[in-house]
Amino acid sequence: MSSVQTLTAPHDVSASNRQDDTIAPPRSAQSWQTSARKSSSRLTMAFKNEVVSDADIDRYKLPFPKGGGRWWTRDAERDYYLWGGLVGNPAFDETQEGWFDLYVDGIIHTVVLASEVNLEGDKETPYTMHWKKIVRISPSKEEEANYGYFKILLKEALTAYGLDGETVPGRKETVVRFSFN
């Protein structure tokens, strides 16, 4: 039986809300393991949902029209971003998968995740986004020494992403759950 880690997606997870002991990501694979061990007990939160600027569209060669108001989940301090969302139509598809690009250290990793979304309930019941398992990562990370740290970053980004990667005033809380370690 897999354990489920539950986090609440905050409305603002900017760098100013981070604790002072947050561990910056190391740049070498060897130091990633040490950093992952130090930070595995809690997730740091520097990612936040924001509209992509025209300058960032050019810088990262993103497939968005300039001025289009597209959203992403970004950690500007560490120069990481997450972009994507759920694929599939809940009216016709039994399941929806999350397809995301996670940009880390100049490399775009395409991540596919099995998911479960619960939008039921009243005003008092939060939405639930459950990321069940990692279906695929391209390029593959599983054999690399920094795979554990990569999963920590992915969880950080998905927690900030919440329901759909947008910050909507007045939207009720989203609880984010993970079944993968």
Q: Where are the domains of the chain?
A: 5-178
pLDDT of 11 > 70? The answer is no
Q: Return contacts of 109-112, CB within 8 angstroms, 24+ apart.
A: 109/137, 109/138, 109/139, 109/141, 109/150, 110/136, 110/137, 110/138, 111/84, 111/136, 111/137, 111/154, 112/136, 112/137
Res. 140: pLDDT tops 90: no
List, for residues 75-102, the tens digit of each pLDDT value: 999 999 999 999 988 778 878 899 999 9
- How is residue 22 written in tokens? 């947050």
**Is residue 32 over pLDDT 90?**
no
Residue 168 is predicted with a pLDDT of: 85
d(CA 71, CA 91): 24
pLDDT digits (tens, 9 = 90+) for 103-125: 999 999 999 999 998 888 677 78
pLDDT surpasses 60 at 73: yes
Per-residue confidence at 36, pLDDT binned at 50, 70, 90?
Answer: very low
Q: What percentage of the chain carries pLDDT values higher than 90?
A: 54
State yes or no: pLDDT of 19 exceeds 60. no
The end-to-end CA distance of the chain, in Å, is 12
User: What's the predicted TM-score (pTM) here?
Assistant: 0.75
Of the candidates 157, 156, 162, 164, which has an alpha carbon nearest to the alpha carbon of residue 175?
Answer: 162
